[in-house]
Structure 1
Amino acid sequence: MGDGALSVWEKSSAARVIPPARPRKLAKVPFVELADGRLQGVVSSGSDIGRVYVSSVEAATFTFACSTNNNRPCGGARGTFCNHLRALVSEAVLQYGAARVTRYLRVDLSDPEPDVIALTSAMTGTRPAQGDASAAAPVFSRFLRHLAYLELEPTTAPLPEMQWFPSTRAVA
């Protein structure tokens, strides 16, 4: 495509999506991302279908936070990773692969492709601090925005909220 021709996906309002390392079920952890120097995402409650938790682990320090979408603290995250954080790490490994998650979080492991238990144990073995849930609002907001995009019909027409992206073509 060096002749200036654009591919179909470059002309559309959709971008290529990197496929997950392995298929995952979205019911327990519908949203997971490596962003803002953290592994973060939304995890469904095991006891209340209407409740979700926003969980995060910071890279290098492994400072963690877990709270409901309306900022109530998780009862299980008292000084160590709760089940929501463990589920988040598991789903991140499925989505991105263990090597990428390990690199992103800067976990020092000798195994280049650790399993979830080894990865979680390495992080909790450093006795990470429990941080505040200040990241919860933007993470939950991004999750809701992603849900809104899922409701749209597939189209090649431009999306108004995506118009701010710079064009790859020179405007005459």
Structure 2
Amino acid sequence: MQQRTKIFKQHIDTDLGQMIVISDEKKLFLLEFADKKNLNEEILTLENEFNCKVEEKITKISKKIDKEIKLYFKGELKEFETPFLMRGTKFQKLVWSELLKIPYGKTISYKELATRIGNDKASRAVANANAKNKIVVLIPCHRIINTNKGLGGYSCGIEKKQKLLALENQKNK
């Protein structure tokens, strides 16, 4: 359990629907689409980790990610600068760190991602780590596809994944 701190929630509007931002004044802890299944469980987990209740409040970090997300959806931002905290297992953090190296507008397969982290047989584990990503869009798990070029899964829904990839492909030309 982390040292007791205050964490705050803000709703932001995007082209793909409302998102939830949870942060303190220094780092982003969660960025998810508001319609995601199990979102309330994720928020409860955060409250337990930080030993506090999430309060509604706009923070410097929530303002920053709101601005960056809006620029991203306009195609004017390709790399985020909002500081964030990866919360997960050592393996999940390894996968998410590798995701951050995939350029805007590019995709790789689950198998390629597994190879990049040093275990080409870990495609399924990589997919599971992607599904546990709590900072969507910023940590670009949507850029991972099947080896056969199929979309694979996406914790926020395949339709959102399609739209994120289409946005990046259109704006990357």
What is the TM-score with the length of structure 2 in the denominator? 0.25
Q: Which has the higher contact order (CA 8 A, sep 6+)?
A: 1
Q: Which has the higher helix share?
A: 2
Give the TM-score of the pair, scaled to structure 1. Answer: 0.25
Larger-gyration structure (1/2): 1
